[in-house]
Structure 1
């Protein structure tokens, strides 16, 4: 698991550094990477690769790397330089080697980021550094190659060429300086000039070494004979070689013609290097200039587009001059009008901190925002928009609709009369105006209209806060909104622009509206409760009707099959699935059947009324039904109608029948003379048994004898 170490920095302050410690498992004592117990000495300091200390050390490492790149080649090609100042060079060499060794040691104390967390565990840092390719190059750069002096002598400083392997440290330092400096474009130009100087320096040293190899003064191309007066000093030798290399690499010309193959090869290589260098220089300078233009465009609006627009529409010269003067003021005074666009790529919290550090002192000067909580001011700071007004320009006029309030950051503004000449007051830095019109205060006599004319005396730098932005911020801070409204009322009372009676009337009206709204909500709840009860009653009635229909069905089945038989005798037509007649006349049976059919139709018509939508607060019995009332009525009526049609046909063939006794039937069909009711025939039972479970949504199963197909004639009346 990860732990936290608290090493002290140079100022004695403790810093939290992620140590990334790991544990091999539970044990009686801490392992080598365990978190130190409280009170123990803190671990050694770990450098943050993004901190200032690390950047300062990189700047120190620039010195030994550049020393080796510039001095070592010079000492190798100019023998007099190495011989005359040998003690100095040896001292500087070993001092640079010491810095190289210290740099390797600091690598073991430099943390690294893992999943965005700074790892400061020494074991993990060491393992990661040793396994990296940088460790190999660092070790090779400090190998004691100076031991070759014992065999080759001190006149061969080229044995220290392995020190060039530390060059990546130089590039890292340059990248870090470029990202941290306030003038990156200037640094890029300086870095480009340094590269050009090092290239010409190396070329001049190689030229002098080639002249020594060919022979001084052998021809006009090589360096003149060192015995010639004026050409024997080290300074003259280096300056001549540097000048000659500059002529070649800049392709200026005016160089002696080469005479030997070595000279031709050297000139050809230099020309190729010059072409590549020229392209690199031109590309780098173009990039620098482009970046500078982009920076200007990001900070200041594009003047050329506005000038082209004014010329295209033939705007009068006086107005064009005002526009030009406004742009000139922005450029000269370094004023920005698009701060939000410049900071848009920063994280929201970091952008807020930057805006607070820049604009919060100005916002705190506003009386209406004094004593407000810090978070509210931070939100408001992000909404401020800088604006610059020219001399004589009106910021607002009397009678205009107020949509913004203004804070004076710099400059002076005058409150003038309608004639534009008479001045009532002068507003200076830190003051504000227009705040009353963007806060909806009840009883404000002026409403949201401007009450004065504000004109800029000179160039004025203002901050603008819109009404929508303030409302959006205050929506998250209701307490601050109440405080701002109270302060606004105090200001209006002092200015005698607050109608107290109108304010009280508005408050009373709001209270009345709230009371009526509460009454409507209470009445709506009562209606919903009553509707739920009505629907529950309809559901209960439908259930009772279903039970009544079932009882009538059993009565008719008993009347159709129990008449006309003797004690223990079975009618012949019973085997055909047709109920036998009784001892009474057929006309009486038909009248009874008609009476039953009429009763069934009346029950079905009573169920065919539409059912309203079930509310969410309906009783459980209604919600449990899962369907509407007409659907349940159809499910109840369909099987019974078919059975009635079947019974009516059977009664037409009866020879005698009994009287119909309308009443509630028992739960099960009664037996005739102590015998069970006759079972349906094979033909009828097969058809009825297939539908014994009843249609979907019906209340209860369909008993034997309930034919579902014949119920459609009655159930269709419910559609």
Structure 2
């Protein structure tokens, strides 16, 4: 084989030449041959590594589909694998866990109930059989769905089927799911003749389904998700505590009835009355209510329970365990309910403490009763409107992006209604909504007075304010929700006849909630948006000209010379330029002086 390729040969026809084969006649010298033979092992190793890397990349590298690639059909393997991935944040997964939780709750209530109260099992045996089958189907489907639930890894949602299966099969939940699905009741015939139970068979065959309770972790997951989604998490926490306490009382009632059956109904005063003599003791409703009442007294210790003489050691042991469990349950109730109540009233308590401190301050300063009454009335209004929250404190834990989105959803529509801010840069409006502050004014409070320097603009959120004359009686106009006033004074427009001062008195009619935007916050934001600053200034001038509040001569002078800030910036630029020129002349003079000095020394 020739080492040189034919020029007419295609690049794909090139073949690898063995390293010990001569590639060029000019390389036939012994020295070059020896040198090449020395390089052969290294080159072979390099080629082997490259070949292995190439083979590995062919197997593992993901090749993006081309633009002309066709979309896979819905029945294709790729589409089906993508479709069965369950996102844990969507509504489907939440709804499915709710269905699974109902099946788990069914087993928690009725497995022990049907295993001990045989009349409950015999009441509707066919329906129980079908319900058990439905819950088992839900359990199996939940295991499949659980194996395809996406999860977060390094902040990214993992949706690869292989990784999802590996994550689920190596988790503790997989072990519990498998144990809960083991059919311990294989000898129970699944036929049209459901198995009934008698008092001698207690506990009934239903007890073989006790392993279904091992799926309790899924029920707790649903309660956690529901707590994060509900608007009343504190009430839900109390409901969860009550639910578990009722379940414990229910299970304890079942154990008491089973123990009474084991010892013998009616053999002493401690056990359940004899059910074979008929009467109310033979009715299912009385049996269950009696056991629940007895368990509630023992576990919660609502009253001192008179304990009869025990005839067996098992009765002593059972009661001791019951009393010990009652102490634990009482501590759980007090602790959980107490913490929930504290969380529910934390904001209100903090607000009340602030209010009490202000009351003490007013009394110490000997403020008039009328002013003290107005302050207390103002606090009462805030409490009645549930405006006790400190927004900055509540939202401080959120990232800046989420805080901005919340502020935009609440205030952006109001800001866009202002004529001065219409068609402004969206970035500017986004920055301004974070600067708005809510302030509540009491009835009769003056929001601004005529002649005051305007440092803030106001947006009426709720309530009404009136523009009144100096006498305080004549009302010119009443501004309601969505109205804006005081916006022109924020722009410092040269030539304004008002001189950035208030032109009227504005007074609150009742309790008024106003958004306030200060001049400092506006100009601090406008420094980042020079084009928006120019547009707002021109729009403010147009509004003043329309109202006849802009002097003509000053307007022309402002057009010729520009704004005061522009002139200051121009002077600063001129000073910097002169400073640079002065430094250059100074350096040039120093160099010239040095040259002259050197020449004089050479001449001398």
Question: Which structure features the higher share of helix residues?
Answer: 2
Structure 1 unaligned residues grouped into runs of 5+? 1-23, 549-602, 604-719
Q: Matches of 1:355 and 1:444 in 2, distance apart?
A: 33
Q: Deviations over 1:570-616 (max 9, x none)?
A: xxxxxxxxxxxxxxxxxxxxxxxxxxxxxxxxx6xxxxxxxxxxxxx
The answer to whether 1:449 aligns with 2:501 is yes
Q: Which residue of 2 aligns with 1:567?
A: none
In structure 2, which of residues 286, 294, 304 is the aligned counterpart of residue 236 of structure 1? 286
1:113/1:519 Cα in 2 relative to 1: closer, same or farther (>3 Å)?
closer
In structure 2, which of residues 454, 457, 468 is the aligned counterpart of residue 416 of structure 1? 468
Q: Which residue of 1 aligns with 2:152?
A: 113
The answer to whether 1:374 aligns with 2:426 is yes
Q: Which residue of 2 aligns with 1:533?
A: 588
Q: Which residue of 1 aligns with 2:115?
A: 76
**Greater CA radius of gyration, 1 or 2?**
1
In structure 2, which of residues 58, 64, 72 is the aligned counterpart of residue 40 of structure 1? 72
8 Å contact from structure 1 (residues 46, 111) kept in 2: yes
Q: Matches of 1:236 and 1:32 in 2, distance apart?
A: 70
In structure 1, which of residues 281, 285, 289 is the aligned counterpart of residue 333 of structure 2? 281
1:34/1:240 Cα in 2 relative to 1: closer, same or farther (>3 Å)?
farther
Q: Which residue of 2 aligns with 1:476?
A: 528
Q: Deviations over 1:658-691 (max 9, x none)?
A: xxxxxxxxxxxxxxxxxxxxxxxxxxxxxxxxxx
The answer to whether 1:52 aligns with 2:91 is yes
Q: Write the mapping of 1:193-208 to structure 2, written as runs, cut at 5 A.
A: 193-208=242-257
In structure 1, which of residues 291, 304, 311 is the aligned counterpart of residue 363 of structure 2? 311
Residue range with higher mean Cα deviation, 321-330 or 170-179? 321-330
Q: Which residue of 1 aligns with 2:6?
A: none
Q: Matches of 2:57 and 2:537 in 1, distance apart?
A: 65
Q: Which residue of 2 aligns with 1:259?
A: 310
In structure 2, which of residues 179, 188, 191 is the aligned counterpart of residue 149 of structure 1? 188
Instruction: Quote the offset at 1:212 in angstroms.
Output: 0.7
Q: Which residue of 1 aligns with 2:209?
A: 160
Query: Aligned to 1:146, what secondary structure does the other structure show?
Result: coil
Q: Which residue of 1 aligns with 2:76?
A: none
Coordinate RMSD, CA, aligned:
2.7
The answer to whether 1:217 aligns with 2:266 is yes
Q: Which residue of 2 aligns with 1:66?
A: 105
8 Å contact from structure 1 (residues 300, 331) kept in 2: no
Instruction: Quote the offset at 1:503 in angstroms.
Output: 4.1
Q: Matches of 2:232 and 2:100 in 1, distance apart?
A: 22
Q: Deviations over 1:392-450 (max 9, x none)?
A: 11111112222211001111111111221111111111111111221111112222322
1:170/1:476 Cα in 2 relative to 1: closer, same or farther (>3 Å)?
same
Instruction: Quote the offset at 1:521 in angstroms.
Output: 4.8
Query: Aligned to 1:230, what secondary structure does the other structure show?
Result: helix
Q: Matches of 1:274 and 1:443 in 2, distance apart?
A: 82
8 Å contact from structure 2 (residues 486, 502) kept in 1: yes
Query: Aligned to 2:472, what secondary structure does the other structure show?
Result: coil
Q: Which residue of 2 aligns with 1:425?
A: 477
1:210/1:475 Cα in 2 relative to 1: closer, same or farther (>3 Å)?
same
Q: Which residue of 2 aligns with 1:324?
A: 376
Q: Deviations over 1:289-320 (max 9, x none)?
A: 11112244688994333333333333333222
Q: Matches of 2:171 and 2:374 in 1, distance apart?
A: 63
Instruction: Quote the offset at 1:360 in angstroms.
Output: 1.6
8 Å contact from structure 2 (residues 348, 388) kept in 1: no
Q: Matches of 1:239 and 1:542 in 2, distance apart?
A: 119
Q: Write the mapping of 1:647-686 to structure 2, written as runs, cut at 5 A.
A: none
Q: Which residue of 2 aligns with 1:122?
A: 161
Instruction: Quote the offset at 1:323 in angstroms.
Output: 2.0
Q: Write the mapping of 1:316-395 to structure 2, written as runs, cut at 5 A.
A: 316-335=368-387, 338-395=390-447
Query: Aligned to 1:424, what secondary structure does the other structure show?
Result: strand
Instruction: Quote the offset at 1:59 in angstroms.
Output: 1.4
Q: Which residue of 1 aligns with 2:38?
A: none
Query: Aligned to 1:46, what secondary structure does the other structure show?
Result: coil
8 Å contact from structure 1 (residues 338, 386) kept in 2: no
Instruction: Quote the offset at 1:496 in angstroms.
Output: 2.5
Query: Aligned to 1:419, what secondary structure does the other structure show?
Result: coil
Query: Aligned to 1:231, what secondary structure does the other structure show?
Result: helix
Q: Matches of 2:408 and 2:366 in 1, distance apart?
A: 43
8 Å contact from structure 2 (residues 347, 388) kept in 1: no
Pick 1 or 2: higher relative contact order, CA cutoff 8 A, min separation 6.
Answer: 2
Q: Which residue of 1 aligns with 2:550?
A: 498
TM-score of the aligned structures, taking structure 1 as reference length: 0.69
TM-score of the aligned structures, taking structure 2 as reference length: 0.81
Instruction: Quote the offset at 1:532 in angstroms.
Output: 2.5
Give the number of aligned pairs.
Answer: 526
8 Å contact from structure 1 (residues 337, 386) kept in 2: no
Residue range with higher mean Cα deviation, 298-307 or 97-106? 298-307
Q: Deviations over 1:139-169 (max 9, x none)?
A: 1110111214369x76321111111110111
Instruction: Quote the offset at 1:518 in angstroms.
Output: 5.7
Q: Matches of 2:359 and 2:535 in 1, distance apart?
A: 47
Query: Aligned to 1:455, what secondary structure does the other structure show?
Result: strand
1:148/1:311 Cα in 2 relative to 1: closer, same or farther (>3 Å)?
farther
Q: Write the mapping of 1:619-634 to structure 2, written as runs, cut at 5 A.
A: none
Instruction: Quote the offset at 1:544 in angstroms.
Output: 4.5
Q: Deviations over 1:4-61 (max 9, x none)?
A: xxxxxxxxxxxxxxxxxxxx97679776987676522432242222232222222112
Q: Matches of 1:525 and 1:373 in 2, distance apart?
A: 37
1:299/1:473 Cα in 2 relative to 1: closer, same or farther (>3 Å)?
farther
8 Å contact from structure 1 (residues 403, 466) kept in 2: yes
Query: Aligned to 1:145, what secondary structure does the other structure show?
Result: coil
8 Å contact from structure 1 (residues 299, 342) kept in 2: no
1:373/1:524 Cα in 2 relative to 1: closer, same or farther (>3 Å)?
closer
Query: Aligned to 1:240, what secondary structure does the other structure show?
Result: helix
Q: Write the mapping of 1:507-656 to structure 2, written as runs, cut at 5 A.
A: 508=561, 520-541=575-596, 543-544=598-599
Instruction: Quote the offset at 1:129 in angstroms.
Output: 1.1
